[in-house]
Structure 1
Amino acid sequence: MSTQLLDALTVLEKEKGIARDVIIEAIEAALVSAYKRNFNQAQNVRVDLNLDTGTMRVFARKEVVDEVFDSRLEISVPDATDINPSYEVGDVVELEVTPKDFGRIAAQTAKQVVTQRVREAERGIIYSEFVDREEDIMTGIVQRQDNRFIYVALGKIEALLPVSEQMPNETYKPHDRIKVFITKVEKTTKGPQIFVSRTHPGLLKRLFEIEVPEIFDGTVEIKSVAREAGDRSKISVHADNGEIDPVGACVGTKGARVQAIVNELKGEKIDIVQWSEDPVTFVANALSPSKVLDVQVNEEEKSTRVIVPDYQLSLAIGKRGQNARLAAKLTNWKIDIKSETDARELGLYPREESFLPEEEEYDADEPLNIDFNDQD
């Protein structure tokens, strides 16, 4: 073994993070293969590498037997005791069989095998690094794209962003920096494959964790997320401490925190609503920014009937039913919206007792929410 190869071991260990033992094991396996192939040998051999001197020796391993049937694998008791009188039947004798020109042949033959083993070790390290980052967010750089994927560089590996996980309002150009949500990490014969998304609700949740310290430290909790990527999303938030305003914390001063997330998602509208364990209050909040007059709950069918003022009906339903659809996903309750006039005609409103809490008054100089939504 040349001193250059020893230097290479040190470089690979430092730069690639691959343990020296892994590389040495790969080299030894390669040298065994090279010896058998180039010298047409079928015997059991072991390669000994001396890292101090940079030399390598090949030893044939033969079992001591009473009667020899295959001289490549076995050695008789008399021959074994001539080498060392202590050998007995069943012991293994090692005889040096290093060819004179073995170094040159081994270097040529082993190169491909060593490279493959090093590549496999690198893949294992990358897989171990990323498998723990599933459902996490990372910043990547767009490299290229084809009909199936956009390839996003995440350090040592390219992640796959499928067409179905790309936001419809975005265009991706090489060298663009984008935040992606890691959905799946797979180990394949070609190395680890990492799949990422720009449309997953988890991306929105992670972005809020980054922008809102109160969410990161657990003071404010995101209870649920409903998202139609690239268009509009809703999140519900809650704080156990009654003195903390969870919606206001997410919005930030003059809307700075939520606006940073809107910008990252290329203008996707975001509603932030107060979570409540009471379905009446939660459903009413979820239909923001529309005003709600009454919420009637059917616990058995897990459904609600919501009464809104006539002029708020289109706002409550939203364009193509989007607001109502997102509210239903956010709350996990079915929502049937009726106008006040229709509800009166059907005798559904007003009821003798309404369970919808009265609206709280907020200081106009300190708004609870900042709405980035169209009024349609």
Structure 2
Amino acid sequence: MSSELFDALTLMEKEKGISKDVIIEAIEAALISAYKRNFNQAQNVRVDMNLETGTMRVFARKDVVDEVFDSRLEISIQEARQIDPNYQENDVVEIEVTPKDFGRIAAQTAKQVVTQRVREAERGVIYSEYIEREEDIMTGIVQRLDSKFIYVSLGKIEALLPVNEQMPNEHYKPHDRIKVFLTKVEKTTKGPQIFVSRSHPGLLKRLFELEVPEIYDGTVEIKSVAREAGDRSKISVHCDNPEVDPVGACVGPKGQRVQAIVNELKGEKIDIVRWSKDPVEFVANALSPSKVLEVQVNEEEKATTVIVPDYQLSLAIGKRGQNARLAAKLTGWKIDIKSESEAEELGIYPSLSLSKNDTEDSDDEFYDDDNFED
């Protein structure tokens, strides 16, 4: 019996990743519960399991006192010294109280408790594994769909992809293989629960880390991401090494790197712009592909007024204001776009904030995948 038990514990440790010590602790706790329930005992007891001999023994633990008030929990110093003359007051005496048929009863009663503890330990192992992957990217397989969630298998556990975290331009089918961003890992009474996203900006950032070695090794840094999932995104990048072009590194040879990400996101357009600590330059870059004549900065309100050529106004604002909205998210600055003629009428243009010559060179600071094939 001991050999079988030891082999079973070793197998569980290997297959489920649960320590034998955890399982033994669960079994001992179950045996204590079984003893108290089956033999109507309420005293403080300890169960000793010997895997080598296959024996289980129950010991009642009693405090050594001068005067006994509860014989289930206490023993007089005189009685204790009959067991061992060295006992002193406040010591703890252990007396074996193992019933004759304890093994059979304990096995029946403990089974459910042990199973529960093992299940909890398994859940703990899974939770520990996936909590480390929070805010990371994983590949999963679509299992099933309902009105609230898409259920995605991540291997040991099924994750939930809520409707509001799905991309509006995607249609999912069972067995589809997709990359997802782990947004949250929770502990629940039924085990770990994982929520994932396809629309989170973090997914775009992680995809660039996978595709661009310079980002993965830290040579190029992603400074900010603004995303309207399924439609268009903007990402700002920076490199301290003047010999490395951060935008070119993200684009890759013939656009292969960024195109792989576009394909993963089912055609989502991606603008890659060069980051700058100067808000004038950064805002101008962020509004690409439109040309910018001037950026006027209000530091107190963290707001900018951007002047663009008349024929570039609609491009700067974008469809339903998308380009301006994404640029504002990317930079963290409020952006008010005005045409050149409107700015002249208001008397706010030209000024010395940013010259036309400064903005005409901004093509090197930006990549727009719409124009790559042209």
TM over 0.5: yes
**Within the alignment, does 1:53 sit opposite 2:30 as a pair?**
no
Q: How many residues align?
A: 371
CA deviation after TM superposition for structure 1 residue 336, in Å? 1.6
- Once the two structures are overlaid, the 10-residue window that deviates more, 224-233 or 123-132, is 123-132
Structure 1's 260 and 352: CA in aligned 2 closer, same or farther, altered over 3 A? closer
Which residue of 2 is the match for residue 37 of structure 1?
37
Which residue of 1 is the match for residue 249 of structure 2?
249
Provide the rounded CA distance (Å) in 1 between the counterparts of 2:78 and 2:351: 108
Structure 1's 310 and 34: CA in aligned 2 closer, same or farther, altered over 3 A? same
List aligned pairs for 1:271-286, cutoff 5 A. 271-286=271-286
CA deviation after TM superposition for structure 1 residue 6, in Å? 2.1
Which residue of 2 is the match for residue 143 of structure 1?
143
Provide the rounded CA distance (Å) in 1 between the counterparts of 2:118 and 2:101: 25
Provide the rounded CA distance (Å) in 1 between the counterparts of 2:352 and 2:68: 104
List aligned pairs for 1:58-97, cutoff 5 A. 58-97=58-97
Structure 1's 197 and 373: CA in aligned 2 closer, same or farther, altered over 3 A? farther
Provide the rounded CA distance (Å) in 1 between the counterparts of 2:185 and 2:300: 40
Structure 1's 299 and 86: CA in aligned 2 closer, same or farther, altered over 3 A? closer
CA deviation after TM superposition for structure 1 residue 78, in Å? 4.9
Structure 1's 39 and 373: CA in aligned 2 closer, same or farther, altered over 3 A? farther
Structure 1's 373 and 201: CA in aligned 2 closer, same or farther, altered over 3 A? farther
Q: Please tell me whether the aligned partners of residues 270 and 373 of structure 1 are also in contact (alpha carbons under 8 angstroms).
A: no
Which residue of 2 is the match for residue 369 of structure 1?
367
CA deviation after TM superposition for structure 1 residue 233, in Å? 0.4
Q: Please tell me whether the aligned partners of residues 2 and 51 of structure 2 are also in contact (alpha carbons under 8 angstroms).
A: no
Provide the rounded CA distance (Å) in 2 between the counterparts of 1:62 and 1:351: 89
Provide the rounded CA distance (Å) in 1 between the counterparts of 2:371 and 2:362: 22
- Once the two structures are overlaid, the 10-residue window that deviates more, 308-317 or 181-190, is 181-190
Q: Please tell me whether the aligned partners of residues 77 and 89 of structure 1 are also in contact (alpha carbons under 8 angstroms).
A: yes
Cα deviation 1:326-368 (Å, max 9, x = unaligned): 11111112222222333333344444774351533989xxx97
Alignment TM-score, normalising by the size of structure 1: 0.90
Which residue of 1 is the match for residue 334 of structure 2?
334
Q: Gapped runs of 5+ residues in structure 1? A: none
CA deviation after TM superposition for structure 1 residue 277, in Å? 2.0
Which residue of 2 is the match for residue 360 of structure 1?
361
Letter in 2 for 1:359: E
Letter in 2 for 1:360: D
Letter in 2 for 1:318: G
Which residue of 2 is the match for residue 4 of structure 1?
4
Letter in 1 for 2:166: Q
Provide the rounded CA distance (Å) in 1 between the counterparts of 2:314 and 2:363: 26
Which residue of 1 is the match for residue 197 of structure 2?
197
Which residue of 1 is the match for residue 23 of structure 2?
23
Which residue of 2 is the match for residue 265 of structure 1?
265
Cα deviation 1:259-305 (Å, max 9, x = unaligned): 11111111111000111222222112111111222222233332222
CA deviation after TM superposition for structure 1 residue 22, in Å? 1.1
Alignment TM-score, normalising by the size of structure 2: 0.90
Q: Please tell me whether the aligned partners of residues 295 and 355 of structure 1 are also in contact (alpha carbons under 8 angstroms).
A: no
Q: Please tell me whether the aligned partners of residues 3 and 52 of structure 2 are also in contact (alpha carbons under 8 angstroms).
A: no
Structure 1's 148 and 82: CA in aligned 2 closer, same or farther, altered over 3 A? same
Give the % identical residues: 81
**Within the alignment, does 1:106 sit opposite 2:106 as a pair?**
yes
Provide the rounded CA distance (Å) in 2 between the counterparts of 1:99 and 1:255: 77
Structure 1's 85 and 252: CA in aligned 2 closer, same or farther, altered over 3 A? same
Provide the rounded CA distance (Å) in 1 between the counterparts of 2:72 and 2:294: 91
Q: Please tell me whether the aligned partners of residues 251 and 370 of structure 1 are also in contact (alpha carbons under 8 angstroms).
A: no
Provide the rounded CA distance (Å) in 2 between the counterparts of 1:336 and 1:130: 43
Q: Please tell me whether the aligned partners of residues 151 and 159 of structure 1 are also in contact (alpha carbons under 8 angstroms).
A: yes
RMSD over equivalenced CA pairs, Å: 2.5
Provide the rounded CA distance (Å) in 1 between the counterparts of 2:371 and 2:162: 28
Which residue of 1 is the match for residue 233 of structure 2?
233
The SS at the match of 2:153 is strand
Provide the rounded CA distance (Å) in 2 between the counterparts of 1:22 and 1:353: 67
Provide the rounded CA distance (Å) in 2 between the counterparts of 1:84 and 1:332: 77
Which residue of 1 is the match for residue 127 of structure 2?
127
The SS at the match of 1:369 is strand
The SS at the match of 2:360 is coil
The SS at the match of 2:9 is helix
Q: Please tell me whether the aligned partners of residues 222 and 237 of structure 1 are also in contact (alpha carbons under 8 angstroms).
A: yes
Letter in 2 for 1:4: E
Q: Please tell me whether the aligned partners of residues 151 and 160 of structure 1 are also in contact (alpha carbons under 8 angstroms).
A: yes
- Once the two structures are overlaid, the 10-residue window that deviates more, 305-314 or 283-292, is 305-314
Q: Please tell me whether the aligned partners of residues 2 and 54 of structure 2 are also in contact (alpha carbons under 8 angstroms).
A: yes
